[in-house]
Amino acid sequence: MGPRPRSPFRRATPWLVPSLLAVSVAAALTVVPGTEADDGRSAPTAAALAEPGEVRGKDGTAGSPGRPVPRPDARDVVLAVHGGAGSALDPATTPPERAQAYRDGLANALRAGKKALDDGGTSLDAVAAAVRVLEDDPLFNAGKGAVFNADAEHELDASIMRGADLAAGAVAGVRSLRNPIDGARLVMEKSKHVLLSGEGADDFGARHGLATVTQDYYWTQARWDALLRAKEAERGGTSAARAPEALADARSTGTVGAVAVDRRRDLAAATSTGGLTNKLPGRVGDSPVIGAGTYAKNGTVAASATGAGEVFIRGAATATIANLMEFKGLGVAPAAYEVVVERLPRLGGQGGVIALAPNGDFDAPHSSPGMLHGYLTRDGRLVTKIYPQESPANS
Ligand code: ASP
């Protein structure tokens, strides 16, 4: 049984689902090597798509007659991480070592978060621990490995939020904190503010003993090359054919995030990024903006976003998911799908979210062709997904 043909439109075209069902069923039964464990829901997912589903919404959005309601990607999830949305990795051309490195990075983050939970920590401890590991991994666009701005410098954004009391903290445009997520948590716990930016944020972190680094710490060859390609594309490139490829590459940014629920059913979410390659100095994306890149509210959702930050800010992406759940009664999967796949593309931006409900229902919809993510279930199963073929269609 071969893998499902790759289509960048899989998750953005629910009306195609019935006609693609036969293909989906075939592919859903394929276990892609490299995952630590099959999540065990491939077949149920395909079966769920065959059901008419419950009907919701007056405006033709997720769940309207004739379209299946998006179902959770997984259930009984306690922790999930993402490593950014962008162009899709292709199993045929991705070197196995690189694929393994992505899976290891996601799995290491999940393990760090699991340890925090196992040690009796809160969901906030778990998301902070998971994001810190991803910030330290040079493969991802956060902390070490952050992208370059247009001045060939690094400016990093991060935020964290606790669902129990809506406490939140964020840093934007930091240039010397080794782990911006620690800065975000510090703002939340040790200041009366929510968002500190630039030098003030760096100084606040340093004064409270956070590890600081010089700019060269964040450097990686891959991000440097991406900046050069972006500059070349900006100048018109060497040929028209190469420019779109270079731009697409620059947008595959590898922002990281985590969501968790703990034993008390308290939710938490965190996000960290270097932003977009070749961004204007001073530009702040959605990642440190509460309600855009990160949101957690008990009883609804913990969500972390990745993608075209400006659109996620304008669409109040993660807060809207929570609001759709709270005020419209949507489940986590239809709410996340409606925002990410239906609403935000209309504003002109692609990306994805990881979204976790207090009961463990989890979904990771994305309108971009790919999104690296993984999750850990209550019974300890750890799943990583780096290829679009590993995610069920329309969930
Ligand atoms: N959302 C991030 C930003 O706009 C980038 C990304 O997630 O790829 O800064």
Which string of DSSP letters, residue by residue, matches 275-308? -STTPPTT---STTSBTTTEEEETTTEEEEEEE-
What amino acid is encoded at 248 in this protein? A
What ranges do the domains of the chain cover? 31-42+65-385
Distance from residue 29's CA to the centre of ligand 1 (Å):
33
In 3D space, the residue among 393, 386, 379 whose CA is nearest the CA of residue 34 turns out to be 386
Distance from residue 175's CA to the centre of ligand 1 (Å):
17
Reduce the DSSP state of residue 244 to 3 states and report it: helix
C-beta of 307 in contact with ligand 1 (< 6 A): yes
Q: Say what the pLDDT of residue 66 is.
A: 57
Q: Say what the pLDDT of residue 87 is.
A: 87
**In whole angstroms, what is the distance from residue 369 CA to residue 6 CA?**
9
**Mutation pick for ligand 1 pocket among 135, 249, 287 (CB with most ligand atoms within 8 Å):** 287
Q: Pairing state of beta strands 267-273 and 382-385?
A: unpaired
**In whole angstroms, what is the distance from residue 27 CA to residue 3 CA?**
5
**Nearest atom, ligand 1, residue 251 CA:** 8
* Protein residue with least CA distance to atom 7, ligand 1: 306
Q: How many other CB atoms sit within 10 Å of the CB of residue 107?
A: 20
Cβ burial, residue 113 (10 Å; 0-12/13-18/19+): buried
Q: Which two tokens stand for residue 324?
A: 């759709």
Distance from residue 370's CA to the centre of ligand 1 (Å):
14
C-beta of 254 in contact with ligand 1 (< 6 A): no
What amino acid is encoded at 116 in this protein? A
Residues forming a β-bridge with 86: 370
Distance from residue 157's CA to the centre of ligand 1 (Å):
9
* Protein residue with least CA distance to atom 9, ligand 1: 275
Whole-prediction pTM: 0.84
**In whole angstroms, what is the distance from residue 97 CA to residue 23 CA?**
29
Q: What does the pLDDT profile of the chain (395 residues) look like in tens digits?
A: 333 322 333 343 333 333 333 333 333 322 233 334 333 222 222 222 223 333 333 333 444 555 678 999 999 999 999 999 988 899 999 999 999 999 999 999 999 999 999 999 999 999 999 999 999 999 999 999 999 999 999 999 999 999 999 999 999 999 999 999 999 999 999 999 999 999 999 999 999 999 999 999 999 999 999 999 999 998 886 544 344 344 344 445 699 999 999 999 999 999 999 999 999 999 999 999 999 999 999 999 999 999 999 999 999 999 999 999 999 999 999 999 999 999 999 999 999 999 999 999 999 999 999 999 999 999 999 999 999 888 765 43
Reduce the DSSP state of residue 315 to 3 states and report it: coil
Instruction: Give CA torsion, residues 20, 22, 334, 307, to 10 deg.
Output: -50
* Protein residue with least CA distance to atom 4, ligand 1: 309
Active site residues: 255
What's the CA angle centered on 354, arms 352 and 356, to 5 degrees?
150
C-beta of 253 in contact with ligand 1 (< 6 A): yes
> For 203-224, b where at least 16 C-beta lie within 10 A, e where not — what string?
ebbeeeebebeeeeebbbeebe
C-beta of 158 in contact with ligand 1 (< 6 A): no
**Mutation pick for ligand 1 pocket among 156, 171, 276, 312 (CB with most ligand atoms within 8 Å):** 276
Domain 31-42+65-385 has CATH 3.40.50.150: no
* Protein residue with least CA distance to atom 8, ligand 1: 307
Distance from residue 359's CA to the centre of ligand 1 (Å):
28
Spatial contact of 248 and 256, defined as CB atoms under 8 Å apart = no
Spatial contact of 384 and 108, defined as CB atoms under 8 Å apart = no
Q: Which two tokens stand for residue 340?
A: 């990410």
**In whole angstroms, what is the distance from residue 174 CA to residue 198 CA?**
5
Spatial contact of 267 and 358, defined as CB atoms under 8 Å apart = yes
**In whole angstroms, what is the distance from residue 285 CA to residue 85 CA?**
14
C-beta of 205 in contact with ligand 1 (< 6 A): no
First and final C-alpha spacing in the chain: 22
Distance from residue 305's CA to the centre of ligand 1 (Å):
8
**In whole angstroms, what is the distance from residue 320 CA to residue 31 CA?**
34
Q: Say what the pLDDT of residue 71 is.
A: 93
Cβ burial, residue 6 (10 Å; 0-12/13-18/19+): middle
